């Protein structure tokens, strides 16, 4: 649940797309254990991609999965 801790002080309107992208990415990577340290890496990638201005959760997730599976 790394993303919830990182975004807890921001308004939901600013972070809902990031949370949705995070959840989509976890599902795409078949991660069930939310305490897995890999979720921290996923959080970092989702926030990094979202910082580019991208708002579509599906596209953010797609890019995160590509970056995490290639590296």
Share the mean pLDDT of the chain. Answer: 91
Range of the domain at 18: 2-70
Element of type H or E holding 43: helix 38-50
Distance CA 23, CA 30 (A): 10
The residue-averaged pLDDT of 30-57 equals 92
The residue-averaged pLDDT of 41-65 equals 96
The residue-averaged pLDDT of 39-47 equals 94
Is the torsion defined by CA of 44, 37, 26, 35 positive or negative?
negative
How many domains is the chain built from? Answer: 1
Contact 17, 55 (CB under 8 A): yes
Q: Which one has a higher pLDDT value, 63 or 9? A: 63
pLDDT, one tens digit per residue, over 5-25 is 888 889 888 999 999 999 999
Distance CA 59, CA 62 (A): 5
Contact 39, 2 (CB under 8 A): yes
């Amino acid at each position: 649940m790394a993303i919830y801790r990182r975004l807890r002080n921001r308004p939901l309107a600013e972070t809902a797309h990031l949370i949705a992208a995070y959840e989509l990415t976890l599902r795409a990577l078949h991660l069930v254990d939310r305490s897995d340290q890999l979720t921290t890496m996923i959080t970092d990638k989702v926030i990094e991609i979202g910082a580019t201005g991208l708002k579509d959760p599906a596209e953010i997730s797609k890019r995160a999965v590509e970056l995490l599976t290639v590296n």
